[in-house]
Amino acid sequence: MIRKKIDIKITFNCNNKCDFCAQGAKRTFIERKTKSEVIKALKDGIKSQANSVVFTGGEPTLHPDLIELIKEAKRLKYEYIQLQTNGRTLSDMSFLKKIKSAGANEISPALHGSKPEIHDKLTNADNSFNQTIKGIINSKKLGLYVLTNTVITSLNYKDLPQIAKLLTYLKVDQFQFAFVHIIGTAWEKREWIVPKKSKVMPYLKKALDIGISKGIKCYTEAIPYCFMKGYEECVAEKIIPDGPVVDAEVFVENYGEYRRNEGKLKHKKCKKCVYFKICEGPWREYPEIFGWDEFKPVITK
């Protein structure tokens, strides 16, 4: 089944305060969308033939109308109803059961370290690691599809293999390592939070090997093909469905196009690369910090 996705940021409120938060200060000027605004976005999605909705934020589970919004998505016959969450509130099994019975079938929790010393430091929230892990365990217990996301930063890149070990132990269905997008809070902290991709790669490849050896679907995001020799199948951009994003005050008609044309960038030397047509390049802020020396056009596959 081909997915046609709509991504709705239903609240900017959050119980974490991540050092890499791409939403930056949005929580200070817009708390959440109203129930009727979200329902309208859901109906518009159906009109444009979307079959998949991602409720995201901020932390979507903090929206007071979340359960009703999931029920509405189900009523409108969305096949895939996903929560992109930090997972903390899912440590409460009774709340998670309500989420599942309302119709959500995929949970995408964010895990940024294999231990509290790393995860809680990045989220600036005590006990967030324990709650996120409990949320993952609960989601698996209820038979929900669990696909995790880990943001790669200078604080956790050496920990990626340990994170992969933990995720395989928890039997998640899919995991993704996304290179930090240097906007929002990450832009403010860019002097220390962004690692060099070439330093990250040995740890990232080890982490992918751990997941692949256990038959888990593993992906990376914002790591171009020239870093991914032998791991090209893990490049997430190939499988991320295009679709609209309903953001705080803007509606992005097609986030995939935005990402390829504005968010990311390629260098003129990229024209020599065999992946030029399918590669999106790095987020454009990365070469502003580290330049283009690490990016080496691939001449043969």
Chain positions contacting ligand SF4, by CB under 6 A: 224-226, 266, 270, 273, 275-276, 279, 281, 295, 297-298
Q: Which single residue is written with the structure tokens 């690369």? A: 273
Comparing CA positions, the residue from 79, 64, 59, 69 lying closest to residue 145 is 79
From the CB of 287, what's the least distance to ligand SF4, in Å?
Answer: 10
Between the CA of residue 268 and those of 10, 236, 296, what are the distances in Å? 39, 23, 11
CB nearer to ligand SF4: pick between 64 and 202: 202
From the CB of 272, what's the least distance to ligand SF4, in Å?
Answer: 8
From the CB of 262, what's the least distance to ligand SF4, in Å?
Answer: 16
Gap between the Cα atoms of 218 and 1, Å rounded: 20
From the CB of 37, what's the least distance to ligand SF4, in Å?
Answer: 38
The angle, 0 to 180 degrees and rounded to 10, between the axes of the packed helices 116-123 and 128-141 is: 100
From the CB of 24, what's the least distance to ligand SF4, in Å?
Answer: 26
Q: In the β-sheet with 106-109, what is the strand arrangement from edge to edge?
A: 217-221, 174-179, 145-152, 106-109, 80-85, 52-57, 5-11, 245-246, 251-252
CB nearer to ligand SF4: pick between 14 and 226: 226
CB 127 within 8 A of CB 120: yes
CB nearer to ligand SF4: pick between 83 and 152: 152
CB nearer to ligand SF4: pick between 59 and 237: 237
CB nearer to ligand SF4: pick between 194 and 298: 298
